[in-house]
A and B are shown apart, each in its own frame.
Chain A
Amino acid sequence: MKKSRKDMVFNLSLVALIFIAVIIVENIPGVNPMLSTVLKKGSIYALVAVSMNLLNGFTGLFSLGQAGFMLLGAYTYAVITIPDSAREKVYMYVKEGSAVSRSWFDNIANGLHLPEGVSNIAIMIIGMLAGGLIAAFFSWLIGLPVLKLKSDYLAIATLGFAEIIRAIFQWDKLGPVTNGSNVLRNFPTFKTAVFPLTVSAICILFIVLLINSTYGRAFKAIRDDEIAAEAMGINLAHHKRLAFVISSFFAGIGGALLAMFQNTLQATPFKSAMTYEILLIVVIGGIGSVSGSIIASFLYISASEWWLRGLDSGKFLFIESPAVLRGGFRMVVFSVIIMIIVLFFRKGIMGERELSVTRFLNFFRKKDGKNEENS
């Protein structure tokens, strides 16, 4: 108990430090804008990766529906929060115009005389929660039949579900809601990385608390041995569905954040490639390690968006590369690095462990102890 409390304090102060650093960094003019991108996108991917880890790593259900649930969250968010004044322009290719309006919210906000900043944050939170809930609702619907499937089939079914959702959202007939295959824009977005970092931190904190609760133990029991878990009174169907719904809820929130990050929204990028990207982060970080997923997200986003950018224009570490190696060369190098990691670090950066001061300190204490014995 004591040990875990010490780690908790350490982790919370680490988070606080990161926040302070972010606020300082963002307010210094001339700081590399890439850093801000990494912080924003990294925190979003961290949330989505942790939510996937909850299901794939902690409950042992190999689902590949992540992009589908993110898309549900992203679209729900955008459709709900676009201001009515902008809808005519956004939905201009749809004959019927927008079928959704946010006047209900604006009326309440005006009635309460909320300042614009406050009402803006309020609609963003409402939109995100709605995104999470819609994603959770769909996972609840498909959960019962899909979770009965054995691992490979579960992966195929969830992957198929995500692709179907994407196709449906691009369907003309749903234009009044989804804008068909046209771009959604003008929904409220965030300016600084503090917003996505805060939302991610709160969500991940909830997931960590859940994993360390009695339900988390039940999830791990199912992962370790379904038959034994069932014999200990753990209802498999109920608990698998619960993990699936919670994971999807946070994937939905992550999708909403991603929509904000991109400023505009289309269904096309929410392909299975996005799910694989997140799966890769989970694997690199360590299946069954929350801190691993978080670290891997920031590393992955830093590498793909920032550190390796120079490769495409031929400038990398002061080396000028010949023209053949430009344009797209970044992805080649990136893929090779990923392959090396997956081949040689099977357990990822963290394995199943978590970042922990006590383990860190014990490591050195043990070393000291050994030295004393030797001398």
Chain B
Amino acid sequence: MSENVLRLENITMQFGGVVAINDLSLEVNKGEIVSLIGPNGAGKTTVFNVITGVYEATNGAVYYEDKMILSNHPQGKMKKMYAGTNADKFPDVIVKTPDRITSLGIARTFQNIRLFKSMTVFENVLTAKHMLKTSNVFSTALRLNYKEEENARNETMQLLERLGLDDVKEELATSLPYGKQRYLEIARALATKPKLLLLDEPAAGMNPQETMALTSFIKSIRDEFDLTVFIIEHHMNLVMDISDRIYVIDFGKLISHGVPEEVQNDEAVIKAYLGVSEEDE
């Protein structure tokens, strides 16, 4: 048995009457690269938003390293509107803001890139080091934390060198080409020293060569930074190449899961993707 890093139990996310995630359970084990795939609007990004505390799940629980970090059941108005199942299974209510989730060791990137636009490449990554500081506002303003600051700067520099962004470190983050911005988002996430990395369509907008480079890059940082990776992706080549296991959702419901070969030949997956032309990038 391998160690669970992330486990979702019966997660349902309902926006008003819209059920975006429907009774989803999945797990990601230590050191794995696991993919979450599905047609557009299937609810993939919503899964990330639930895990990271951006949305409060309507029902279900999230475990990190076998500790329950989030839990909810339908409350108030939702009690009547709830269209899912397992409503009695989760009596606890545990809510965490995204910054708390990140400080537990879960970092993410965004499908629609969200860099700090007034900052340089270097500052973007350095800013992500803020949560690791131990000094208070007075000692930082009076520069009593200079050792910590210097450390953070050195680590930031190392990260930029590792990701091949050191030559553009003084440039405005938003002036970088699209592909580099995606790497910068990964650098920024890594700066928080995560154990679990959530990547939301990191290859979106990349050509086949770039996608291939990204594939081997993700594998290499997994080993180098001792990461577990949970990734949402549309590029099937990347997904099939990189994944230890794959979860497939459609309309918020799990329709298939297994190793790449199993999923590739699954009747339900082929049906869900039929007529949906998003692999043609």
Our verdict on whether A and B bind, yes or no, reads yes
Which A residues are closer than 8 A to B by beta carbons? 206, 209-210, 213-215, 217-218, 220-221, 223-225, 227-237, 242, 246, 288, 352
B269 on the A face (CB < 8 A) = no
Are the C-beta atoms of B97 and A235 separated by less than 8 Å? Answer: yes
Are the C-beta atoms of B115 and A234 separated by less than 8 Å? Answer: no
Known: A209-B142, A225-B114, A229-B116. 17 other contacts (CB 8 A): A214-B140, A215-B130, A221-B119, A221-B130, A224-B119, A227-B110, A228-B114, A230-B102, A231-B99, A231-B107, A231-B108, A232-B102, A232-B131, A233-B128, A233-B192, A235-B100, A288-B118
Partner of B54, one of A206, A227, A232, A352: A227
- Of chain A, the residue at the smallest CB distance from B124 is A221
B31 on the A face (CB < 8 A) = no
CA distance A210 to B189 in the complex (A): 24
Q: How far is the CB of A6 from chain B (nearest CB, A)?
A: 16
Are the C-beta atoms of B137 and A232 separated by less than 8 Å? Answer: no
B20 on the A face (CB < 8 A) = no
Q: List 5 A-B pairs, minimum CB-CB distance, nearest first.
A: A233-B131, A228-B114, A233-B102, A224-B116, A213-B140
- Of chain B, the residue at the smallest CB distance from A228 is B114
B11 on the A face (CB < 8 A) = no
CA distance A246 to B137 in the complex (A): 10
CA distance A231 to B114 in the complex (A): 10
- Which residues on B sit within 8 Å (CB–CB) of A242? 137
B276 on the A face (CB < 8 A) = no
Which residues B108-148 have CB closer than 8 A to chain A? 108, 110, 114-119, 123, 126-133, 137, 140-143, 145
B149 on the A face (CB < 8 A) = yes
Are the C-beta atoms of A223 and B128 separated by less than 8 Å? Answer: no
Contact flags B253-266 to A (C-beta < 8 A → 1, else 0): 00000000000000
- Which residues on A sit within 8 Å (CB–CB) of B141? 206, 209-210, 213, 215
- Which residues on B sit within 8 Å (CB–CB) of A246? 137
Are the C-beta atoms of A234 and B97 separated by less than 8 Å? Answer: no
Are the C-beta atoms of A214 and B130 separated by less than 8 Å? Answer: yes
Are the C-beta atoms of B137 and A215 separated by less than 8 Å? Answer: yes
Are the C-beta atoms of A235 and B116 separated by less than 8 Å? Answer: no
- Which residues on A sit within 8 Å (CB–CB) of B191? 232
- Which residues on A sit within 8 Å (CB–CB) of B100? 235
- Of chain B, the residue at the smallest CB distance from A222 is B116
- Which residues on A sit within 8 Å (CB–CB) of B140? 210, 213-215
Are the C-beta atoms of B108 and A224 separated by less than 8 Å? Answer: no
- Central interface residue in A214, A225, A229, A234, by most chain B CB within 10 Å: A214
- Of chain B, the residue at the smallest CB distance from A218 is B130
Q: How far is the CB of B223 from chain A (nearest CB, A)?
A: 24
Which B residues are closer than 8 A to A by beta carbons? 52, 54, 97-100, 102-103, 107-108, 110, 114-119, 123, 126-133, 137, 140-143, 145, 149, 152, 188-189, 191-192
Q: How far is the CB of B105 from chain A (nearest CB, A)?
A: 10
Are the C-beta atoms of B137 and A221 separated by less than 8 Å? Answer: no
Partner of B131, one of A206, A220, A227, A234: A234
Are the C-beta atoms of B52 and A231 separated by less than 8 Å? Answer: yes
Partner of A214, one of B54, B119, B133: B133
CA distance A246 to B140 in the complex (A): 14
- Which residues on A sit within 8 Å (CB–CB) of B131? 232-234
- Which residues on A sit within 8 Å (CB–CB) of B52? 231
Are the C-beta atoms of B188 and A214 separated by less than 8 Å? Answer: no
- Of chain B, the residue at the smallest CB distance from A238 is B99
Are the C-beta atoms of A214 and B103 separated by less than 8 Å? Answer: no
Q: 25 A-B contacts, Cβ less than 8 Å apart?
A: A209-B143, A210-B137, A210-B141, A214-B126, A214-B133, A218-B130, A223-B118, A224-B119, A225-B115, A228-B114, A228-B115, A230-B99, A230-B102, A231-B102, A232-B102, A232-B127, A232-B130, A232-B192, A233-B130, A233-B132, A233-B192, A234-B127, A237-B97, A246-B137, A288-B118
Are the C-beta atoms of A231 and B116 separated by less than 8 Å? Answer: no
Partner of A230, one of B98, B116, B117, B129: B98
Are the C-beta atoms of A236 and B99 separated by less than 8 Å? Answer: yes
- Of chain A, the residue at the smallest CB distance from B48 is A231
Are the C-beta atoms of A217 and B126 separated by less than 8 Å? Answer: yes
Are A352 and B114 CB-contacts (below 8 A) given A231-B52, A233-B131?
A: no
- Central interface residue in B98, B102, B128, by most chain A CB within 10 Å: B98
Q: How far is the CB of A47 from chain B (nearest CB, A)?
A: 16
- Which residues on A sit within 8 Å (CB–CB) of B142? 209
- Which residues on A sit within 8 Å (CB–CB) of B97? 230, 235-237
CA distance A228 to B114 in the complex (A): 6
- Central interface residue in B116, B119, B191, by most chain A CB within 10 Å: B116
- Which residues on B sit within 8 Å (CB–CB) of A230? 54, 97-99, 102
Q: How far is the CB of B274 from chain A (nearest CB, A)?
A: 34
Are the C-beta atoms of B152 and A214 separated by less than 8 Å? Answer: yes
